[in-house]
């Protein structure tokens, strides 16, 4: 019988996140700079978790407790690097918590686009008695450590640019810093790393030459895309990675059948689930968890956050939908706003400059122009006239309004909560109602029109 391959060693991930990032010119630590609406470090931690590690250790330094407080992930082990003496020193801070039988994967808190697919391949190369080294080929390798190979193509060592000869600087294969190694071997190598370099630091890269000397196999893996291993040192590079994120996300959506008016003008800052035949116009922004049903159309300039939009619904341009549930076959906007905890049933129409907050609207109800519906339960087939507002706030407390089925409110009406409007009631235009409105009747609540003779408008004194 063929032998079974040995089981993979338990995995410990070490994420280096202690850098200051002076070139960011920001009070925010570098690893907390936002990419697609989340801190750089959070992206790396999320990818690490997809590998099912036994532990994730984050080595932090600059910014102090601000970094773990901002991430607040109970599954992460936080390790403080009090003195920043290089990458080798940083990894060594976490080694005390890592058993010898583990494989150690080293990642970086400012390299957010590294893929789980690449990391799985790298870990497979490392095994229990070898080192997996991730490299990248760059047209412009300025600033990167270079991979030095033998005549046979085997990795011999890594040389940092400041310590490299002119010949070595001409090499295009670069070190990404990402590697996987057996913990027992890595621990021994790190203890022997010296600071004999131009920076006076403990370089993690020195362990590669040690592995070669001890005849431990070093298996290189070349990253498919440079953006996957690109770090962030300033706002220009941050913008470049944001563009790469958008391109990656747009491609995935289009491959899944979503039609994008312009793939370059889409922002997804979270997760976007979708049905069939979805269309998204330019400059739409999706934040948090968003779900779009079949045949949903999103107009230009819309912002949708933590919301569900039902099949067949069209959202016209420049709407903001925040933490809402929109039913099927609704028509929304343009220039409509939904604040949290709003729910629409099927075939509801919400028109231009209408705001809905913490309210439920029944099937086929409409608020087509210049209305505010707050803290209200609205029944089916209700027509909210232009300029109607539900006055839900008394200056201290919010109050609830109940509007039953088939109610019509005239233009420019005010419903002062708490109030109940009975089924089939009609409220005359310009009314301010402060008491219960009976079902099936016309209610008018406005001052009688009068004309005052001999009235003089006040005049400004002439200069």
**What are the residue numbers of the active site?**
369
**What tokens were used for 446?**
């406005």
**What tokens were used for 451?**
């004309």
The answer to whether 316 touches 295, Cβ cutoff 8 Å, is no
Question: Which residues pair with residue 259 across a beta bridge?
Answer: 279
- Short-list 376, 438, 444, CA closest to 410: 444
What CA–CA distance (Å, rounded) separates 243 from 234?
A: 15
Phi, psi at 253, each rounded to 5°: -65, -45
Q: Angle CA(231)–CA(54)–CA(109) in degrees, nearest 5?
A: 15
What CA–CA distance (Å, rounded) separates 350 from 331?
A: 6
- Dihedral over Cα of 181, 183, 188, 194: its sign: positive
Cβ-based burial of 187 (10 A; exposed 0-12, middle 13-18, buried ≥19): middle
The answer to whether 169 touches 160, Cβ cutoff 8 Å, is no
What CA–CA distance (Å, rounded) separates 312 from 278?
A: 9
- Dihedral over Cα of 98, 100, 101, 106: its sign: positive
DSSP, residue by residue, 332-400: E-SS-EE-SSEEE-TT-EEEET-EEES-EE-TT-EEEES-EEESEEE-TT-EE-TT-EEE-B-SS-B--
**What tokens were used for 247?**
């391109």
Q: Count each helix (H run) and each strand (E run) in the chain, helices first.
A: 8, 39
What CA–CA distance (Å, rounded) separates 433 from 402?
A: 13
Q: Alpha helices, DSSP H only, in 232-310? A: 235-255
What CA–CA distance (Å, rounded) separates 378 from 253?
A: 36
398-401, Cβ contacts within 8 angstroms, sequence gap of 24 or more: 398/358, 398/374, 399/375, 400/375, 400/376, 401/375, 401/376, 401/377
What CA–CA distance (Å, rounded) separates 316 from 279?
A: 12
- Short-list 161, 124, 153, 107, CA closest to 6: 124
């Amino acid at each position: 019988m063929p032998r079974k391959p040995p089981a993979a060693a338990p995995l410990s991930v070490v994420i280096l996140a202690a850098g200051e990032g002076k070139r960011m010119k920001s009070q925010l630590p570098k690893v907390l700079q936002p990419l697609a609406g989340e801190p750089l470090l959070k992206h790396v931690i999320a990818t690490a978790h997809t590998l099912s590690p036994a532990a994730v250790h984050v080595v932090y330094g600059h910014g102090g407790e601000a970094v773990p407080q901002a991430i607040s992930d109970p599954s992460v082990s936080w390790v403080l690097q009090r003195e920043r003496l290089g990458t080798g020193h940083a990894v060594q801070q976490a080694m005390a918590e890592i058993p010898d039988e583990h494989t150690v994967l080293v990642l970086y808190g400012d390299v957010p686009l590294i893929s789980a697919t690449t990391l799985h391949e790298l870990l497979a190369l490392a095994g229990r008695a070898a080192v997996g080294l991730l490299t990248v080929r760059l047209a412009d390798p300025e600033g990167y450590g270079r991979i030095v190979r033998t005549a046979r193509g085997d990795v011999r060592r890594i040389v940092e640019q400041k310590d490299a000869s002119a010949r070595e600087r001409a090499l295009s294969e670069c070190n990404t810093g990402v590697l996987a190694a057996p913990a027992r071997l890595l621990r021994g190598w790190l203890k022997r790393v010296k600071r004999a370099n131009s920076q006076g630091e403990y370089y993690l890269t020195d362990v590669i030459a040690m592995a070669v000397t001890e005849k431990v196999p070093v298996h290189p893996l070349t990253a498919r895309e440079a953006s996957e291993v690109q770090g962030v040192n300033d706002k220009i590079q941050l913008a470049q990675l944001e563009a790469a994120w958008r391109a990656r996300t747009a491609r995935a959506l289009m491959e899944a059948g979503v039609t994008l008016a312009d793939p370059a003008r889409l922002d997804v800052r979270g997760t976007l689930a979708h049905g069939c035949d979805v269309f998204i116009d330019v400059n739409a922004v999706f934040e948090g968890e968003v779900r779009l049903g079949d045949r949903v159309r999103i107009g230009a300039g819309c912002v949708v956050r933590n919301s569900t939009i039902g099949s067949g619904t069209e959202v016209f341009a420049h709407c903001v939908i925040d933490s809402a549930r929109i039913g099927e076959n609704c028509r929304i906007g343009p220039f409509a706003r939904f604040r949290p905890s709003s729910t629409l049933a099927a075939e509801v129409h919400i028109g231009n400059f209408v705001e809905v907050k913490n309210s439920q609207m029944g099937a086929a109800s409409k608020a087509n122009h210049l209305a505010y519906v707050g803290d209200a339960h609205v029944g089916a087939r209700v027509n909210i006239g232009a300029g109607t507002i539900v006055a839900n706030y008394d200056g201290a407390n919010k109050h609830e309004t109940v509007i039953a089925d088939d109610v019509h409110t005239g233009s420019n009406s005010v419903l002062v909560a708490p109030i109940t409007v009975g089924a089939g009631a009609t409220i005359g235009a310009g009314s301010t109602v402060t008491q219960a409105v009976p079902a099936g009747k016309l209610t008018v609540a406005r001052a009688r029109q009068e004309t005052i003779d001999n009235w003089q408008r006040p005049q400004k004194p002439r200069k």
